[in-house]
Amino acid sequence: MQAFNPYLPSWEYTPDGEPHIFDGRLYVYGSHDRFRGHVFCLNDYVCWSAPVDNLADWRYEGVIYKKTDDPDNPFGRACLYAPDVTRGPDGRYYLYYVLDKECTVAVAVCDQPAGKYEFYGHVHDRDGNLLGHREGDEPQFDPGVLTENGKTWLYTGFCSPFDATRHGPMCTLLGEDMLTIEQEPVFIMPSKPYSEGSGYEGHEFFEASSIRKFGDLYYFVYSSVVMHELCYATSRFPDRDFTYRGVIVSNNDIGISSYKPAEKPMYYGGNNHGGLVQINGKTYIFYHRQTDGTTFSRQGMAQEITLLPDGTIPQAEMTSCGLNGGPLKGRGTYPAYIACNLFTDEERPYSGGPGSKGFWLDGTFPRITQDGRDGDEEQGYIMNMTDSATCGFKYFDCKGVTSVTIEVRGYAGGFFEVKTAWDGPVLATIPVEFTNVWTKYTAEVQALYFTYRGHGSAALNSFTLE
């Protein structure tokens, strides 16, 4: 069994992934988007898990918390934004979250890491006043949590680059009851209006607080004001002296220069959120990508990273093999939705932006999608492969591969160029014709990149290496 990116089935949309190991299993907690949703996080919280010795064997744990389980949301009118989970001193599991129409931190609890969580309360001070509602409090958002030595550190915040009323991400110390504030919030890094001379310039905090401790260093991971990148800062203390260290991953690969110019976007990016985890001596970053030409249908991704002795992390590139532990086998049939690169000759770094309608790409750009409705277990594919559209797949062990077969449908009259690099020589061409059913075409070549040239629009379902 091999692991792919995205690491969950193509019909699952669970962004903002926070990975945690509990009792020999890896659990990922995130928000839950809807396929073709009109806003973020429309669905209930679900959980997926995998054994630490087989990161390709994911198990659906089911719905762990419904929107309507929150007493302030009996009709489900508010969405459940990005959560995090920690094991408390009592051995129970605590889920921290913020509703999209609230500015307080709610907590649910469960005896199992992926059981049915029950509402527990809100983070408050010793007088019972809710954090986020008190005079002088800044709104709470995207909680990240870390429990050690019987205490829990809570990290929150959302800072628009144009809002001087937001000063940066906050760190709050909670007591053993997991709710009561023991140490008032402190700002651990500046927002953009206050970042001059801080070392964070150009990568200031935006959202997506996530915290881990490896060795004697605390790693604070966050989404910067450029949105598509997850950055990190480190400190020897949980609540002060954090220093900016760099970018861990970008969901359009901006900043990666190993296979293309550093500033060239290789995917249609958007906001980002995720966390770090160490498994069997290896370190991984979990993050998400945008699909369906919108920023509201996001999928979980993961990459192995290198944690250097000085605590730094070189930026990781997006790949199709993710958690696999090495290249994918150069044999067999692979679904097109595992493309890690997707672009046209007209560069666009985001799913939304100039020329697009709201948060959506316009109809001239390729996108990963699926048939059916949200919840239908339909395999994803790439649609709208118009002239110059390129999809890339990395990495494969292609020794001995002699042919590639692609499965295509659509009203298209042209050909697919087959290359081993996005700008490499064309090693073969595969002509395609008008068809409204999936049809296979074959060429004799090794393959990693496919570029469509011609009229109309094709959809790519899979490719087979033989």
pLDDT per residue over 187-199, tens digit each? Answer: 999 999 999 999 9
Q: What is the pLDDT of residues 56-93, one digit of tens each?
A: 999 999 999 999 999 999 999 999 999 999 999 999 99
Do the domain assignments include residue 296? yes
Asked if residue 2 belongs to a domain, the reply is no
Give the start-end residues of each E strand in 215-340: 217-224, 229-235, 243-250, 276-279, 282-290, 298-305, 328-329, 332-335
Residues 204 and 289 in one domain: yes
Q: Longest C-alpha distance within the chain, in Å?
A: 73
Residue 18 CB-half CA count within 13 A: 30
Q: What is the pLDDT of residues 138-167, one digit of tens each?
A: 999 999 999 999 999 999 999 999 999 999
Closest residue by Cα to residue 221 from 247, 185, 197 = 247
Q: Model confidence at 401, in pLDDT bands (50, 70, 90)?
A: confident
pLDDT band (50, 70, 90) for residue 354: very low
| Domain total of the chain | 2
* pLDDT value of position 447: 44
Task: Report the pLDDT value the prediction gives residue 351, as an integer from 0 to 100.
Answer: 87
Structural domain contains residue 8:
no
Work out the average pLDDT over 399-411.
90
CA–CA separation, 23 vs 20, rounded Å? Answer: 10
Q: Does the structure show a pLDDT above 90 at 273?
A: yes
Query: Domain containing 359: what range?
Result: 332-465
Mean per-residue pLDDT, 275-286: 97
Task: Using the predicted structure, report yes or no on whether residue 178 has a pLDDT greater than 80.
Answer: yes
Q: Residue 7 falls within a domain, yes or no?
A: no
pLDDT in the model for residue 356: 44
Residue 252 lies in a domain: yes
Domain with residue 48: its CATH number is: 2.115.10.20
| C-alpha pair distances (Å), 406 with each of 225, 320, 334, 425, 449 | 39, 17, 10, 19, 12
Question: Which of 58-72, 161-175, 257-271, 416-430 is least confident?
Answer: 416-430
Instruction: Please report, as a single letter, which amino acid is at residue 386.
Output: T
pLDDT digits (tens, 9 = 90+) for 427-446: 889 999 988 888 887 765 53
Q: Are residues 216 and 350 in the same domain?
A: no
Same domain as 215, residue 361:
no
Q: Please list the residues that pair with 214 across neighbouring strands.
A: 217
**pLDDT greater than 80 at residue 423:** yes
Is 9 among the domain residues?
A: no
> Over pLDDT 90: what percentage of the chain?
91
Average pLDDT of the chain to the nearest whole number? 95
Examine the fold and report which residue of 270, 300, 326 is the final residue of a domain before the chain moves on. 326
Which pLDDT score, from 0 to 100, does residue 358 have?
A: 45
- Percentage with pLDDT > 70 across the chain: 97
Task: Indicate if 114 and 245 belong to the same structural domain.
Answer: yes
Give the three-class secondary structure for 208: strand
Res 446: pLDDT: 39
Q: What is the DSSP string of 211-224?
A: EEEETTEEEEEEEE
pLDDT exceeds cutoff 70 at 311 = yes
For residue 69, give Cα distances in angstroms to 13, 58, 100, 317.
21, 26, 15, 38
Residue 352: pLDDT over 80: no
Stated pTM of the model? 0.96
| Shared domain check, 315 and 384 | no
Q: What pLDDT was estimated at residue 160? A: 96
Which of 170-191 are b and which e, b meaning 16 or more Cβ less than 10 Å from the residue's Cβ?
Answer: bbbbbeeebbebeeebebbbbb
Mean pLDDT of 321-339: 96
From 295, 326, 357, give the residue that closes a domain. 326
How high is the pLDDT of residue 432? 93
User: Which of 286, 306, 326 finishes a domain?
Assistant: 326
The CATH number of the domain holding residue 440 is 2.60.120.260
Q: Is the pLDDT of residue 355 over 50?
A: no
3-state SS track over 327-367: CEECCEEEEHHHCCEEECCCCCCECCCCCCECCECCCCCCE
Q: Is the pLDDT of residue 294 over 50?
A: yes
Place of tokens 């990148």: 229
135 within a domain of the structure (yes/no):
yes
> Known catalytic residues?
16, 207
Least Cα distance to 297 among 43, 28, 120, 3 occurs for: 43
